[in-house]
Structure 1
Amino acid sequence: MSTPDTAVPDKGASTPAGSGDSLFTRLYTGTGAFGIVANRRKFYILTLVIVAVCLASILLRGFSFGIDFTGGTKLTMPAGDVDEDQVSMVVEEVVGEEPQTVQIVGAGNARIVEVETRFLTTDEIVDTKNALFEEFQPVSASGEASVEAIGDSARSESWGGQVTEKALIALAVFMVIVFGYIAFRFEWQMATAAIVALFFDVITTAGVYSLVGFEVTPATVIGLLTILGFSLYDTVIVFDKVEENTRGIANTTSRTYAEEANLGVNQTLMRSIHTTVIGILPLLALVIIAVWILGVGTLMDLALVQMVGIVTGTFSSVFLATPLLVTLKERSPEIKRQTAKVLARREKAEARA
């Protein structure tokens, strides 16, 4: 929901309108009371710190890759009253090392235990199945306790690598198309700022996964691509308002380009907040359903990466893309001349006053 345009005093960012109003009043009226562009150096520093921490974590800690990337053997059996720690101990006694993951997925009678380990030999698979059967007596589909109730499958690490390679190619193509469209629809400065914001989203989301230790699966990689669309949508909405405010600005002396851009961000700020909240709520519900009803799986992976991506996308759209746009625009001679004329007019007005 976009807010109505409201007049801003000539001093713009230095004395924002509505600065004495409450926080919610300033958010909803969009009068330019928040000096986002005026404080862009602080946001640049914050952005650099976030990127540095994320890159350091990626380089030093790395990622917790799932079996689809590392390769290995996956065993499944009906859960019943099985405890994950007990299953882990039984498997460790047979294979000589702790399994990569042990998790219970599904709900009700459909609950199963999934065990992911390194690549096991045929003899190790047989021994592990027998040990699990002796300990837990899983019941097969026929209703009888049988070792056949325990299934196994091998996962090749090349499959996860192929998914990642195709995702990176898709990401590169997406970036080129986005740059071309925004440069054609708006201008190259906006296209550059939007691409930088998208790279920030990718690095930050990947960094959060590295820091927290979330498991990276093919679903995570696919989900990472989906969040870029959300971030781009939010950025384009802000840019559209900025373009509307700055159209023909070279012929005016009421406000500078930076002040008009800051007004545009303020006028769309509440919309960005609403979009973020509305986007996160169903994802929270999806996480709850995935964990408590269906069990941890693909839905959980998709929901997690999209929740992280939506938050980072909103930050980059508001606090990075538009401030960076202003920095790029202020390098042009036309904007420099217009800014000088605005400041000169204000000095004359103050002198007369």
Structure 2
Amino acid sequence: MNRFADWGNALYSGRISYPFIQRWRRWFALAALLLVLAGGLTALRGGFNLGIEFRGGSEFTVSQTASTDVAAGERAVTDVLADGHATVTNVAPGTVRVQTEQLDDAQTRAVAANLQEAYGVGQDQVTSTFVGPTWGDAVSQQALIGLVIFVVLVTLFMAVYFRTWKMSLAAVLGMLYVVALTAGIYGATGFEITPSAIIGFLTILSYALYDTVVVFDKIRENTIGAEEDPERSFVENVNLAVNQTLVRSITTSVVGILPVGSILFIGAGLLGAGTLRDIALALFVGIIVGTLSTLFLQAPLYALLRRNDVDVRDHDARAAARAARERGSDTVTDPDVAPWDDGARL
């Protein structure tokens, strides 16, 4: 613990500095590669694995069962439909939900009878319904509307709070990347897209925004008075702010991941609470991606957007001149090159 505290103090004072901003090219390239890989794997799998709420189908609920064996439910469906696919979920103690493609009346009765036999229940304990895709379309439309409203409000709030639209733009682009990559991971791994997953995608926006605001607030604090104290270049001040908030970003992420991981791995994995899996997985992936996005994408993007501002260029020129005087050299390093040099110390 003492070592971690010492490391945090060294980061805050600048004695240890990781070049988050200076190495922006490799971070952006890696981010693009991950997004392309996720999209490519999703395409190779035939697109997203949409849940029954989005594609339509038949749903059976088996209650008061002594066993919640998933394989028993799958066999009950494949005995009727040799090529059929069933999604079996434990929704509560003694209750199993079985989702299939759309069945006709004869197939529905046959599957219901198989489920009665498989789980040892009576006819009254097996109910069947048909779920149309229109409900999923409505959910998708509402989610899209919610996303647009959220992005607009966040853009306006951050532009007013930070007094610059460039911070707002960097934050919004980073949040959209988080959602896109999280959805891409869902598609690449074949996890089912359900309304719970959609809720999870929207929820991670708020978490990503929280971490971004913390880091950006420190960036503003470090750069707002930069003209009066030109010891560091603008990029170096931004990079210092990211390093100073690194410990907080890590601890906040760990605190968020632990309960979500418990729900995902213990609740859904060990205890079989399948209804928790979709939203927990979206949150688990989104928290990790959101933290990395703030450090490696949004902060460097903001620095890039400010790179050619007149006040930033003037400040960097003064910082370069001061550094040259301290070296006892008449040669002033080009401020357009030096602050972005990958040779920053580790």
What amino acid is the match of 1:50? L
Whole-angstrom distance in 1 between the partners of 2:176 and 2:299 = 15
Residue equivalent to 2:271 = 293
1:204-223 → structure 2 map (5 Å cutoff): 204-223=181-200
Are the structure 2 counterparts of residues 148 and 306 from structure 1 closer, same or farther at C-alpha, using a change threshold of 3 Å? Answer: same
Name the SS of the counterpart of 1:254 in structure 2: coil
1:54 touches 1:203 (CA, 8 Å); kept in 2? no
Residue equivalent to 1:126 = 109
What amino acid is the match of 2:87? T
2:84 touches 2:101 (CA, 8 Å); kept in 1? no
2:72 touches 2:118 (CA, 8 Å); kept in 1? no
Whole-angstrom distance in 1 between the partners of 2:43 and 2:111 = 36
- Cα distance, 1:282 vs structure 2: 0.8
TM norm structure 2:
0.87
Match of 1:47 among 27, 31, 55: 31
Q: CA-to-partner distance for each residue in 1:35-55, whole Å, 9 max, x for gaps?
A: 211222221111121222223
1:216-295 → structure 2 map (5 Å cutoff): 216-287=193-264, 288-293=266-271, 295=273
Whole-angstrom distance in 2 between the partners of 1:55 and 1:125 = 36
Residue equivalent to 1:85 = 71
Are the structure 2 counterparts of residues 163 and 82 from structure 1 closer, same or farther at C-alpha, using a change threshold of 3 Å? Answer: closer
- Cα distance, 1:248 vs structure 2: 2.4
Whole-angstrom distance in 1 between the partners of 2:210 and 2:328 = 45
What amino acid is the match of 1:256? S
Name the SS of the counterpart of 1:103 in structure 2: strand
Name the SS of the counterpart of 2:60 in structure 1: strand
- Cα distance, 1:339 vs structure 2: 0.7
Q: CA-to-partner distance for each residue in 1:10-43, whole Å, 9 max, x for gaps?
A: xxxxxxxxxxxx7863334323311211222221
Residue equivalent to 1:152 = 128
1:1-353 → structure 2 map (5 Å cutoff): 25-29=6-10, 30-32=12-14, 33-61=17-45, 62-78=47-63, 79-81=65-67, 83-107=69-93, 111-133=94-116, 135-136=117-118, 138-139=120-121, 146-186=122-162, 187-287=164-264, 288-293=266-271, 295-297=273-275, 299-351=276-328
Percent identity (aligned): 34
Compute the RMSD of aligned alpha carbons: 2.0
Whole-angstrom distance in 2 between the partners of 1:322 and 1:132 = 54
What amino acid is the match of 1:56? G
1:89 touches 1:98 (CA, 8 Å); kept in 2? no
1:231 touches 1:317 (CA, 8 Å); kept in 2? yes
What amino acid is the match of 2:118? F
Whole-angstrom distance in 2 between the partners of 1:246 and 1:341 = 14
What amino acid is the match of 1:191? S
Q: How many residues align?
A: 321
1:91 touches 1:98 (CA, 8 Å); kept in 2? yes
Whole-angstrom distance in 2 between the partners of 1:252 and 1:149 = 75
Whole-angstrom distance in 2 between the partners of 1:92 and 1:341 = 74
Are the structure 2 counterparts of residues 176 and 300 from structure 1 closer, same or farther at C-alpha, using a change threshold of 3 Å? Answer: same
Consecutive unaligned residues in structure 2, runs of 5 or more: 331-346
Whole-angstrom distance in 2 between the partners of 1:86 and 1:294 = 15
Q: CA-to-partner distance for each residue in 1:281-328, whole Å, 9 max, x for gaps?
A: 11122221234336211x221111111110011011111111111111
- Cα distance, 1:181 vs structure 2: 1.1
- Cα distance, 1:224 vs structure 2: 0.7
Whole-angstrom distance in 1 between the partners of 2:4 and 2:300 = 22
Consecutive unaligned residues in structure 1, runs of 5 or more: 1-21, 140-145
Name the SS of the counterpart of 2:289 in structure 1: helix
1:138 touches 1:147 (CA, 8 Å); kept in 2? no
2:67 touches 2:119 (CA, 8 Å); kept in 1? no
Name the SS of the counterpart of 2:88 in structure 1: strand
1:77 touches 1:138 (CA, 8 Å); kept in 2? no
Q: CA-to-partner distance for each residue in 1:115-144, whole Å, 9 max, x for gaps?
A: 2111112222122222333x33623xxxxx
Name the SS of the counterpart of 1:94 in structure 2: coil
2:72 touches 2:119 (CA, 8 Å); kept in 1? no
Whole-angstrom distance in 2 between the partners of 1:46 and 1:137 = 49
- Cα distance, 1:346 vs structure 2: 1.2
